[in-house]
Chains A and B, each alone.
Chain A
Amino acid sequence: MAYQKRMLLKGNEAAVYGALLAGCDCYFGYPITPASEIAQSAALLFPKLNRTFVQAESEIGAINMVIGCVAAGRRSMTASSGLGISLKQEAISYLAAYEMPAVIVDVMRGGPGLGNIAPEQADYFQVVKGGGHGSYRCLVFTPNSVQEMCDMTFQAFTMAEKYRMPAYVLTDGVIGQMMESVELPSAVKYDYDPEWKMGNIINGEANCISSIYMEPNDLEELNKKLQAKYKLIEEVEQSVEEFSVDDAEIVMVAYGISSRVAQGALEQLRAEGIKVGLIRPKMVFPFPKNSLNNAVKRGVKKFLCVELSAGQLIEDVRLAIECQRPVELCNRMGGNLLTCDDVCAAVRKMI
């Protein structure tokens, strides 16, 4: 039987399809604009496959249910937006310390505070830098299309399990709310049964999952192990899309909706004969340091960070290239969007 795999979906809905096709068993969530369609689609679709949807009492409840589900050896996810992600941070730190995989979708909205529900990209720090207590990282995918919302949510499960750590799908209100056509991937048949799950008999003892290391030396060992894992990920998992970087003098760096605006600007500017390129991180942890440094080596004179935050991404760009080139900022905040014209003007000013 052939099925219709091309569908017109919202980014939020596409994330749910990606999760189900990747074999996600349980969804635990709490409604929040602009991420609510994820919970709504999950509520509709998970039960069709005898899978579990629970509307949790809170963001905190939801992420802790994810902990329980993953500890029991099942694939699980949750989704939210800025404020909700703030509330989840404690549990995400636990997930990192447990070395347990989980997928968290963050559809960013305006902050700080209650802010508003319009698209922003100001969760970058809290998602990419750890966010909760302790020295930990999460894998961070940054889709910029509905197709990628599906594909990257799918991929997030695989990579989270490969490295046994939480993975974010970090996007914004535009990508979450917009509809585009999506080609769905094939469903994976899975016999997922991690040996580290709670209660598995290891050396004759029922396994326990814990993040407590009372001896400082033991906790330092865990930290070293985590850092070694993150270093390996930085070496082998950088993921990026480059546009016209080879001969570029100015390279824009942008992810999510900003990268699409930058791509539009790039076409306009190239038509004017301006040598501009674009580096679009598909993941921001690991950060695409190689791509940026290769651009430096190829003679890029300046970088322009295009982001919907007060200069968060820009810090990582500067660090990645160790300030060898000037990095300027083109941004809007508070839920205002950048237009192609805004970005073009910023690039023209740099010439």
Chain B
Amino acid sequence: MSEKVKFGRSPVFFETFNRRPGPIKKNMHYCPGCGHGILHKLIAEAVDHFGIQKNTKFISPVGCAVFAYYYFNFGNISVPHGRAPAVATGVARANPEDYVISYQGDGDLAAIGFNEFLQAANRGENITVFFVNNSNYGMTGGQMAPTTLPGQKTTTSPYGRNPLTEGYPTPVCEIVNALTAPVYIERVALTTPARVAAAKRAVYKGIQNLKERKGFSLIEVVSPCPVNLKMSAEQVNEFIEKQMMNYFPLGVIRDKTAETEGRPLPAPVVRESADVEKILLTEKRSDSVAADFRNTSSMFDKELRVKIGGFGGQGILSLGVMLANMGMLRNFNVSWMPSYGPEQRGGSACCSVIVSRKMIPSPILESGIDLMIATTQTALEKYLPGLKEDGILIYDSSAVKLPELPAAMRTYGVDAIEIAATKLGSSKCANSVLMGVLAAVLAANGLNEADQADFDRAFAEAVEEKFGKKPGAVEMNVKAYEAGKAASLK
């Protein structure tokens, strides 16, 4: 006659708890009668039952279960207070083949970490959350928790929880039930054998959902804390049954597991260098100039400082980027610096471009500006003080009224937006019109013939790079550029 173990220590637990300091290596650290141990056993049994121990990852919270990693023989991490669902998200996203369990107490989940928890639930992360509700902060010595009952005395509610100042117990499952993504929400309790059997079914379902990749499951476990509540085994069960359940009714709150399809594993990450470069980069340009190509006009002997200011939507920033890109294509050092943030949102747009053969110290331009393009009065007035006395000013003649200017300043008025809107049918390419105007202005101010032709080519290359994939966009911008070059300037 032989015997087999019908109910006994789960093989998912370590045989000996070597990570636990001190001489006790077979027991858990929990107080006598604590529900954590019961839930640990149910989880271990379910993980064993579904055969997923190898890929199960457990997030140990801060609270009484902080040492859960002493016990379970699967991947484990002990994380900052309240952040278990965020860490679980990181694990589950990084390794979609893992089965991630986030385990939290009521302070960790419903107080300091409520946001992380709700957000993970709302994203429908593929994790199962076990929430141990025992109506107090156990680890720190029985303080008030979000789940403490009205009138319940704890070490931080010595006169009883006062709903007028401390509110009511947080109905976590019911709150989560307001979200669309979670597939399974159930509240169970660890009191009578029948309740524990129901809890076991819920735990199995939560673990099965993990295995089948169904999404977010939440199992709230109303759990005994006899030591902090100063109760016997019978008393604490009665407290749960007669008092806690008034606020935390048991049962399945949502179960969409049957109609929810398991999620397929995502496509494998691209890792091979050649594949990464193929996807991330564009084919090498064949029409670029040689690495030692230099434009010969003398205006490039020193750095060229350009300020472009106007109104958001006029393409001011992209005009600057286009110019910087052209400089880069011709082997200059270039910098482009936008105004950013509220100034941008307020409607005005501005950027600085520096084109130089040498290292560019600061990309910010407040003074010593060689060339300025202004399409609004505000921009003109704001940046004019930084323009050199003999600098070049290109302005939109319909929007800008010139103030009195130094005699040496070279000014060119053009109705760029009008040209773009009427002749080209879209004010969107006003910036290409301005680029054409710039080409004409530079030609009139020392850009030699070779570089004039090269400016056209550089523009064509930059436009091709930017709009190459948009049908018609290259042609429209080149037309706008030509219109700008031919425009009569004031």
Stretch at the interface among B356-364, B389-397, B424-432: B356-364
Contacts of B279 in A (CB 8 A): 48-49
CA distance in complex: A263, B336 (Å): 18
- Among A57, A68, A189, A206: residue with most chain B CB under 10 A: A68
CA distance in complex: A258, B281 (Å): 32
CA distance in complex: A66, B89 (Å): 9
Residue B230 lies at the interface, judged by CB distance under 8 Å to chain A: no
Please name the residue on chain B nearest to A264 by beta carbon. Answer: B361
Q: Interface readout for A172-184 with B: 1 if CB under 8 Å, 0 if not?
A: 0110011111001
Residue A73 lies at the interface, judged by CB distance under 8 Å to chain B: yes
Q: Pick the contact of B328 from A6, A118, A263 — CB < 8 Å?
A: A6
| In the complex, number of A-B residue pairs with CB atoms less than 8 Å apart | 244
Contacts of B325 in A (CB 8 A): 8
Given contacts A6-B328, A264-B362, A339-B366, contact A205 B73 (CB under 8 A): yes
Given contacts A60-B86, A210-B77, contact A69 B283 (CB under 8 A): no
- On whether the beta carbons of A188 and B340 are closer than 8 Å, the reply is no
- On whether the beta carbons of A2 and B284 are closer than 8 Å, the reply is yes
CA distance in complex: A17, B279 (Å): 12
Q: Pick the contact of A50 from B270, B324, B334 — CB < 8 Å?
A: B270
- On whether the beta carbons of A49 and B21 are closer than 8 Å, the reply is no
- On whether the beta carbons of B361 and A68 are closer than 8 Å, the reply is no
Q: Which residues of A, 191-231, contact B by the 8 Å Cβ criterion?
A: 197-200, 205-212, 214-215
Residue B98 lies at the interface, judged by CB distance under 8 Å to chain A: yes
Residue A340 lies at the interface, judged by CB distance under 8 Å to chain B: yes
- On whether the beta carbons of B362 and A68 are closer than 8 Å, the reply is no
Please name the residue on chain B nearest to A36 by beta carbon. Answer: B340
Contacts of A214 in B (CB 8 A): 21
Residue A21 lies at the interface, judged by CB distance under 8 Å to chain B: yes
Residue B333 lies at the interface, judged by CB distance under 8 Å to chain A: yes
Q: Interface readout for B339-350 with A: 1 if CB under 8 Å, 0 if not?
A: 011100000000
Nearest CB on A from B307, distance (A): 14
Q: Pick the contact of A52 from B59, B94, B337 — CB < 8 Å?
A: B94
Nearest CB on A from B326, distance (A): 10
Residue A325 lies at the interface, judged by CB distance under 8 Å to chain B: no
CA distance in complex: A188, B366 (Å): 41
- On whether the beta carbons of B88 and A68 are closer than 8 Å, the reply is yes
Nearest CB on A from B118, distance (A): 8
- On whether the beta carbons of A198 and B366 are closer than 8 Å, the reply is no
- On whether the beta carbons of B278 and A3 are closer than 8 Å, the reply is yes
- Among B18, B78, B271, B342: residue with most chain A CB under 10 A: B271
- On whether the beta carbons of B284 and A4 are closer than 8 Å, the reply is yes
- On whether the beta carbons of A72 and B95 are closer than 8 Å, the reply is yes
Contacts of A205 in B (CB 8 A): 14, 18, 73
Q: Interface readout for A147-191 with B: 1 if CB under 8 Å, 0 if not?
A: 000000000000000000000000001100111110010111110
Interface size on B, residues (CB 8 A): 75
Given contacts A68-B77, A215-B21, contact A51 B88 (CB under 8 A): no
Given contacts A49-B269, A68-B88, A181-B328, contact A208 B75 (CB under 8 A): yes
CA distance in complex: A60, B115 (Å): 10
Please name the residue on chain A nearest to B95 by beta carbon. Answer: A72
- On whether the beta carbons of A54 and B78 are closer than 8 Å, the reply is no
Q: Interface readout for A108-149 with B: 1 if CB under 8 Å, 0 if not?
A: 000000001110000000000000000000000000000000
Please name the residue on chain B nearest to A117 by beta carbon. Answer: B341
Q: Pick the contact of B78 from A69, A76, A173, A212 — CB < 8 Å?
A: A212
Given contacts A8-B328, A68-B90, A208-B78, contact A187 B284 (CB under 8 A): no
- On whether the beta carbons of A181 and B340 are closer than 8 Å, the reply is no
- On whether the beta carbons of A67 and B79 are closer than 8 Å, the reply is yes
- On whether the beta carbons of A173 and B340 are closer than 8 Å, the reply is yes
Residue B93 lies at the interface, judged by CB distance under 8 Å to chain A: yes
- On whether the beta carbons of A179 and B321 are closer than 8 Å, the reply is yes
- On whether the beta carbons of A71 and B90 are closer than 8 Å, the reply is yes
Residue A40 lies at the interface, judged by CB distance under 8 Å to chain B: no
- On whether the beta carbons of B91 and A25 are closer than 8 Å, the reply is no
- Among B56, B89, B335, B359: residue with most chain A CB under 10 A: B89
- On whether the beta carbons of A69 and B90 are closer than 8 Å, the reply is yes
Stretch at the interface among A26-34, A281-289, A309-317: A26-34
Q: Pick the contact of B57 from A51, A72, A187, A190 — CB < 8 Å?
A: A72
Residue B294 lies at the interface, judged by CB distance under 8 Å to chain A: no
- On whether the beta carbons of A57 and B116 are closer than 8 Å, the reply is yes
Nearest CB on A from B335, distance (A): 5
- On whether the beta carbons of B335 and A180 are closer than 8 Å, the reply is yes
CA distance in complex: A130, B267 (Å): 38
CA distance in complex: A64, B92 (Å): 13
- On whether the beta carbons of A61 and B78 are closer than 8 Å, the reply is no
CA distance in complex: A41, B279 (Å): 14
Q: Which residues of A, 75-129, contact B by the 8 Å Cβ criterion?
A: 76, 90-91, 94, 98, 116-118
Residue B87 lies at the interface, judged by CB distance under 8 Å to chain A: yes
- On whether the beta carbons of A72 and B362 are closer than 8 Å, the reply is no
Given contacts A54-B89, A260-B361, contact A48 B280 (CB under 8 A): yes
Please name the residue on chain B nearest to A179 by beta carbon. Answer: B336
Nearest CB on A from B312, distance (A): 16
Residue A261 lies at the interface, judged by CB distance under 8 Å to chain B: yes
Cβ contacts A to B, 15 pairs, < 8 Å: A3-B284, A4-B283, A45-B280, A60-B83, A61-B86, A67-B80, A73-B95, A91-B83, A94-B79, A94-B80, A116-B341, A178-B335, A187-B276, A198-B75, A199-B76
4 residue pairs, one from A and one from B, having the closest CB atoms = A68-B90, A199-B75, A264-B361, A64-B86
Knowing that A69-B94, A179-B334, A206-B75 touch, tell me 18 more A-B residue pairs with CB under 8 angstroms: A4-B282, A6-B328, A48-B279, A54-B93, A60-B86, A61-B86, A67-B90, A68-B88, A116-B341, A117-B341, A174-B363, A174-B364, A189-B272, A198-B75, A198-B76, A209-B78, A260-B360, A263-B361
Hey, which bits of chain A sit against chain B, CB under 8 A?
1-6, 8, 17, 20-21, 23, 25-26, 28, 33-34, 45, 48-52, 54, 56-58, 60-62, 64-74, 76, 90-91, 94, 98, 116-118, 173-174, 177-181, 184, 186-190, 197-200, 205-212, 214-215, 257, 260-261, 263-265, 267, 337, 339-340
